[in-house]
Chains A and B, each alone.
Chain A
Amino acid sequence: DTAVSQTPKYLVTQMGNDKSIKCEQNLGHDTMYWYKQDSKKFLKIMFSYNNKELIINETVPNRFSPKSPDKAHLNLHINSLELGDSAVYFCASSQETLAETYNEQFFGPGTRLTVL
């Protein structure tokens, strides 16, 4: 009955490889997110996505791409991995934001990516 789940929990790979991280939420939420948390613990938004709009943080390299097969899933695909991509990646979800309201985000357990 996990609300937001991610796989894998740990991912170790070589520079230059392509990898994907999967995320699923069973909360019926409309919006999903991907965050990167680096070694300094700073949580940085990468993408937010609902069935209407994909918002991309302009600082995210285009090697990163979100893919959403359906409303409950938002996978993160990374091409040509670099050393600096090593971090913990969190998926999150929330109810769609309406004007003048905001809903809390529920986070997945995180995926620790290590690029060698």
Chain B
Amino acid sequence: GQNIDQPTEMTATEGAIVQINCTYQTSGFNGLFWYQQHAGEAPTFLSYNVLDGLEEKGRFSSFLSRSKGYSYLLLKELQMKDSASYLCAAVDSNYQLIWGAGTKLIIKP
């Protein structure tokens, strides 16, 4: 079967760095997305990785290792507004998105 695993909840301190991990098992692989979802709002696109390595975009970076079926989202200089759920989604061989349940990130002052 197809499966995405990510931690249910994480807590971090304002100004710090946090890494949210995601492992995936899919039938074929055509890339991995990270989305951010604030409570009561729609998911919004953060990043897309299809090649191995690190993609940096401001305070957020996303890493992919295809051989390990593993990705992480790295958030630096955390701000209170980064409190949200972070959803990992892998693209399978049929170009369908397989979604994780999301990681709720709580930022404390």
- Contact (Cβ within 8 A) B43 A90: yes
Q: How far is the CB of B108 from chain A (nearest CB, A)?
A: 21
* A45 CB, min distance to chain B CBs, angstroms: 7
Chain B interface residue number, banded: 20 to 34
Secondary structure of the B contact surface, majority rule: strand
A66 within 8 Å of B (CB atoms): no
* Partner-contacting stretch, out of B19-27, B53-61, B96-104: B96-104
Residue-by-residue, is B66-108 near A (CB-CB < 8 Å gives 1, otherwise 0)? Answer: 0000000000000000000101010100011101011010000
Q: Which residue from chain A places its CB closest to the CB of B46 in the assembled complex?
A: A104
| A104 CA / B43 CA spacing, docked (Å) | 11
| Cross-chain contact B43 with A45 (CB below 8 angstroms) | no
When distances are taken between beta carbons in the complex, the residues of chain B under 8 Å from A102 are: 30-31, 48, 50, 91, 95
B50 contact set on A, CB distance < 8 A = 102
Contact with B along A75-116 (1 / 0, CB 8 A): 000000000000000100000010010101111111000000
Q: Are B45 and A105 in contact (CB under 8 A)?
A: yes
Q: Whose C-beta in chain A lies nearest to the C-beta of B44?
A: A107
Question: Once A and B bind, how many residue pairs between them come within 8 Å at the CB atom?
Answer: 44
- Residues 32-66 of chain A, each 1 if its beta carbon lies under 8 Å from chain B, else 0: 00000000111111001000000100000000000
Complex contact A90–B42 (CB within 8 A): yes
Instruction: Indicate if the CB atoms of A108 and B42 lie closer than 8 Å.
Output: yes
B102 touches A43 (CB 8 A): yes
Report which B residues bind A (CB closer than 8 A): 30-31, 33, 37, 41-45, 48, 50, 85, 87, 89, 91, 95-97, 99, 101-102, 104
Using a CB–CB distance below 8 Å, which chain A residues touch chain B? 40-45, 48, 55, 90, 97, 100, 102, 104-110
Known: A90-B43, A100-B30. 12 other contacts (CB 8 A): A41-B37, A41-B85, A41-B104, A44-B99, A45-B99, A55-B96, A97-B95, A102-B50, A102-B95, A104-B48, A106-B45, A107-B43
